[in-house]
A and B are shown apart, each in its own frame.
Chain A
């Protein structure tokens, strides 16, 4: 179980999150929705243990995530950044293999898992290309594959569908849904239709420190959606 307990974050003197509580269990597929600047990415970074909340704590399987050493943290939690900074010209294979860093694989095993992940994500044809020569969508696929190679119990994805074509979006969301049967998948997503159709649970950041969470069928009602899309915010 991943648990946000009274999480408050202030960035540059601006309070971004205030006393947020939420529980994410195995078998659940969560969508986090909210307007720009509502704190979705900040929350995801806290859950991933990459940002220390000013108040409150994040517990992963009953342990404070900030007291875990980085390797065991990465074994439990995989995190997809919203936008990966451009970097050096590693090949696609090398990039996906980096997802195996937290695990003490032997070389054969590492190769087998990396190749399997490349196939699972339908990017085996790209594997010898440099990541700098890929299109935005192809690069996104590589970043997602890197997270999946990490094979951790909790998958936290910040706008995974950015730059992806419609075909791959549908493929990915179904894949995430399948993965969520025995893992916990949490994604930030702006597409309410996708969240309504595929996610089992939803967390709404409504502004003014108002957070609503629960199963998506009941939460995505007219009153809540009107509040979510309130233009006065």
Chain B
């Protein structure tokens, strides 16, 4: 009970995040001497300020977005196994981005980001179109999303089987999630903040929606509108995250579950804590990914799954 009182306070999570950030930027293949930190000509300066810090910010942004999106989609489709990739977002983004990598067109981060974003939005629109009959039908979202994901998986396998050795390596890396590539985007900060504040105003309505659509409607929630808002936000947050860093699994699935067990079921607390816990989780996972076999960098998706799977299996006995 004591612990729960502490964990519902966002500042506790901000503090944890800050501490982890400090640890994260100071570990790696090179340990930066502290006196060189503000000398712009030193290697330390560029490692910390130009490589590790942007990457850490990237991890936090992507982690926070995916966790928040996971909380939303689980509420929308009322399925504890739902994760943000259910909307076909990841498959859409990955297919488009792999195509670009394969054709060797352009590998600048901005272009790849835009291509992925376009791909994921397109996939989401198809799922939305198929699941929308006057209003969103959540059970159809689940079904259509899963089927779409299978379709994209086939396309991705097809491209992998055609690609040559050099390409396969970068493609696999992308498929498992890679935070080293892109710079943290201000657009994403803005989107995450906007979603958070809009959702914060609806936190009671989200509680009611979690108890069922009919329950929410009879209690006075404009459930059709809220469902649509939740769908669009999930799609945008996930699309951004995937376009930025590839498909990093398990953050969106397990963080909402863990946070529910920690702070209860009210969105008053869930929204902020889920976002911050997602940021923390991915920051830790990414720090592990680049330090465990240093100087070799591993895809972060391996670590989210390696940490996420056992934790989820342990918790799933309680859910």
Q: Is the CB of A102 within 8 A of B215?
A: no
Q: Is the CB of B221 within 8 A of A70?
A: yes
Q: Is the CB of B218 within 8 A of A81?
A: yes
CA gap between A75 and B219 in the complex, in Å: 9
Min distance, Cβ B104 to any Cβ of chain A, angstroms: 48
CA gap between A94 and B217 in the complex, in Å: 17
A88-B265, A89-B265, A90-B207 as given contacts; A99 in contact with B219, CB under 8 Å? yes
Kindly state whether residue B266 has any CB partner on chain A within 8 Å: yes
Kindly state whether residue B81 has any CB partner on chain A within 8 Å: no
Min distance, Cβ A132 to any Cβ of chain B, angstroms: 10
- Find chain B residues with CB under 8 A from A71 CB: 220, 222
CB < 8 Å neighbour of B220 from A75, A85, A88: A75
How many interface residues does chain B have, given as a range? 20 to 34
Kindly state whether residue A220 has any CB partner on chain B within 8 Å: no
- Find chain A residues with CB under 8 A from B222 CB: 69-71
Kindly state whether residue B143 has any CB partner on chain A within 8 Å: no
CA gap between A78 and B217 in the complex, in Å: 11
Chain A residues with a Cβ closer than 8 Å to the other chain, count: 26
CB < 8 Å neighbour of B266 from A73, A84, A90: A90
- Find chain A residues with CB under 8 A from B208 CB: 98, 101
Kindly state whether residue A42 has any CB partner on chain B within 8 Å: no
Chain B: CB-nearest residue to A85: B212
Kindly state whether residue A150 has any CB partner on chain B within 8 Å: yes
- Find chain B residues with CB under 8 A from A48 CB: 218
- Find chain B residues with CB under 8 A from A89 CB: 264-265
Q: Which of B223, B260, B265 lies at the interface centre, i.e. has the most chain A CB atoms within 10 A of its CB? A: B265
Min distance, Cβ A100 to any Cβ of chain B, angstroms: 9
A-B contact pairs, 29 of them (CB 8 A): A50-B214, A70-B217, A70-B222, A70-B223, A73-B220, A74-B220, A75-B220, A79-B218, A81-B214, A81-B218, A84-B212, A85-B211, A85-B212, A88-B260, A88-B265, A89-B264, A89-B265, A90-B211, A90-B266, A94-B207, A94-B266, A95-B211, A98-B204, A98-B207, A98-B208, A98-B219, A101-B208, A102-B219, A102-B220
